[in-house]
Chain A
Amino acid sequence: MKANNSLAFSPSEKVTGWRLFIKTIGARAYPRVIGMQREKSWMFFDVFLPLLAVSAYVFVYRAIGAPEEYVGFVVVGGAMTAFWLNILWSMSSQLYWEKEQGNLALYIMAPNSMMAVLLGMALGGLVATTLRALAIIVLGSLIFQVQYSITSFTQLIAVFFLAMTALYGMGMMSASLFLLFSREAWHLANLAQEPVYLFSGFYFPIKSFNFWLAAAASFIPLTLGLDAMRQLIFPSGALLGFLSVKFEITVLIILCVVFLAGAKFLLDYMEKLAIREGRITENRR
């Protein structure tokens, strides 16, 4: 070891309040964004494999002579599955993994807000997943020659961000719940994966469901987000849409508020419960 005079630290001006909140978001988003550059395997697992599922649906639609828009629906849906997988495996079950690694205790013990940690996870995941989704759309569109005709770019951006905010809000909310489920979190995530593929209409328009089933499926933010985006980027999208874009935007705004507020409430509650029951560092006794 070297000389020890550097342990006389000059007092640092540590930030607090909203500046600490922002710093925490940035710091927690960093591993996710940087991870994309360091683990190139995502190109295979998160782009190539979803493209295989997309291809299967495209060939089925073409074989049965379905309208060509359906091919575009499938490519866009395939891209959006990346966000759902990110929510499931990198948001919902993330606090469980953080606990297993020993990070959760450090996050809670630090003066930062846990909400900022979750937002950082969400933001980092969103940035990283958007790159994957874009790769799927670009490759899928080139391979299957998908034609787009955007009717309102502003509405498209708004729908995308609202759907993502609501979706990641839902992920943050479920992350709090998973905090208490320990190892069961893995099974719950597995259980939720396929039904959401079905009810969000990743590979078909949800108008194919009856109204009430489609309405129930609309609690999953991807369902309305995907439906509205398809209406805005394909010429006959409006005809196959479940509800009007404006109405879907309104519902998405409500979902954003509900899920983010729910995430905050549940996180506070679960943190208190976990501290009371001693589950921040331990699994269920």
Chain B
Amino acid sequence: MSNFALETKDLGRIYKIRGNKKERQERKELIALENVNLTVERGELFGLLGPNGAGKTTLIKILTTLLAPTSGWARVAEQDVSLTPNLVRPRINMVSGGESSGYGLLTVRENLWMFSQFYGMPSKEADKRIVELLTMVGLEDRMNTKSSDLSTGLRQKMNIVRGFLTDPEVLFLDEPTLGLDVGASRDVRKLIRSWMETDKNRTLLLTTHYMVEAEELCDRVAIINKGKVLACDTPANLKRDLQRDAIFEIETSPLNGLTDKILAEQAEVKKAALTEIEGGARLELILKDESAVATVINILTQKNIKIKRLTKREPTLEDVFMELVGQRMEDVEKDEPDESK
């Protein structure tokens, strides 16, 4: 038995986009995934981190047998997702953030029971698990509420329970905390950790664009952008390379024409990102060493920009992303339309 729960080799997916009638003859192509090589071991909580449109959802769709790759192959629980999808399906489940699955006329318990039947679970066993899981996520008092009467957060909790209900070997969670409030997100993360800790053979693949979530939950993280895996390692190892660098956050008065390009042109500045905030701006800088901050301060002073706050901090996965892509994830999302989903 292989120890890999998931394996991909040179995996790629190209979408052909239909335009309007005039453009239809020349179909555009969108590369959603390109040469993705990943292995995830059994028992691992693996994170896919990337901005919207990076290809995370496309990868999950391929792994869950919903989309055919255009190149390469992928195996889940030792079975090829394209050649033997029927052997993959009984062993997986998936929950997507913001999904509105189920039927509004049915109660929470009925919706969950219905989905359990599609996996062949005995009704008694399903009922027992439904009660246990709903209790764990604090939804037991809504068991008999119609799902159309649930708030977005509560509905998402129901969806999460649906994913765990069939106790899959490999669970895919695609942005599970999308749109949830802080409390509900914390509950979901707690459930994920508990599920993983209880059985070491369970594998979970989580996609998120919340850095903190990936850092807090994942054993390993792959950073993905524009369909390519840029790095894959433990959060600690990914950040290790940046330990040698100095990371500063500076809050200033309005920037008076200063751009991140001007800062990035400085030899000691590895990466710079500017965000406008109320009454000024926030600079995030990755510098080759601590002393380089003096150069930045000089530039700010020359431009009559006041420094309100200056902090040196430890690297985060956000910094790793910025180092790899050259932009903060938020800025990538602003620049790129979400097409590759």
Contact = CB atoms under 8 A, between A and B. Distances in A.
Given A13-B122, A281-B66, A106 B194 contact: no
B77 to A, nearest CB: 12
Q: Does more than half of chain A's interface fall in helix, strand or loop, or is it mixed? A: helix
A278 B15 CA distance: 8
Interface stretch (B100-108, B222-230, B260-268, B311-319): B100-108
Nearest to B66: A280
Given A278-B67, A285-B15, A34 B86 contact: no
Contacts of B118: 23-24, 27, 106-107, 110-112, 117
A34 B66 contact: no
B110 interface: yes
A280 B66 CA distance: 7
A7 B136 CA distance: 9
Contacts of B61: 278, 280-281
Contact of B100 (A1, A31, A102, A112): A102
Contact of A105 (B13, B66, B68, B132): B66
B66 A102 contact: no
B161 to A, nearest CB: 11
Contacts of A127: none
A27 B116 CA distance: 9
A128 to B, nearest CB: 12
A187 interface: no
Interface residues on B, range: 35 or more
Contacts of B166: 14
Contacts of A9: 129, 167
A277 B18 CA distance: 12
Interface residues of A, number: 47
Interface in A78-107: 101-103, 105-107
B90 interface: yes
A14 B119 contact: yes
Contacts of A285: 15-18
Contact of A109 (B17, B92, B164): B92
A20 interface: yes
Contact of A27 (B66, B93, B113, B190): B113
Interface string B111-141: 0011101111110010001001101111000
Interface in A12-51: 12-16, 19-20, 23-24, 26-28, 30-31, 34-35, 38-39
A195 to B, nearest CB: 28
B199 A8 contact: yes
Residue picked from B102, B114, B125, most chain A C-beta under 10 Å: B114
B101 A101 contact: yes
A24 B16 contact: no
B6 interface: no
Contact of A1 (B90, B117, B190): B190
A34 B198 contact: no
Contact of B120 (A7, A23, A35): A23
A38 B104 CA distance: 11
Residue picked from B17, B121, B138, most chain A C-beta under 10 Å: B121
Given A8-B198, A101-B101, A103-B101, A108 B114 contact: no
Given A1-B137, A102-B96, A109 B194 contact: no
A1 B13 CA distance: 40
A7 B195 contact: yes
A1 B101 contact: no
Contacts of A16: 90, 120
10 contacts: A6-B133, A8-B199, A14-B121, A20-B120, A30-B106, A31-B103, A106-B101, A109-B89, A278-B68, A280-B61
Query: What 10 A-B pairs have minimum CB-CB distances, sorted nearest first?
Result: A27-B117, A4-B194, A111-B90, A14-B120, A110-B118, A15-B120, A6-B132, A7-B198, A20-B120, A112-B118
Given A14-B122, A285-B16, 17 more contacts: A7-B136, A13-B122, A20-B120, A27-B118, A30-B110, A31-B110, A34-B110, A35-B105, A102-B96, A102-B99, A102-B100, A103-B102, A106-B94, A106-B101, A275-B65, A278-B67, A281-B66
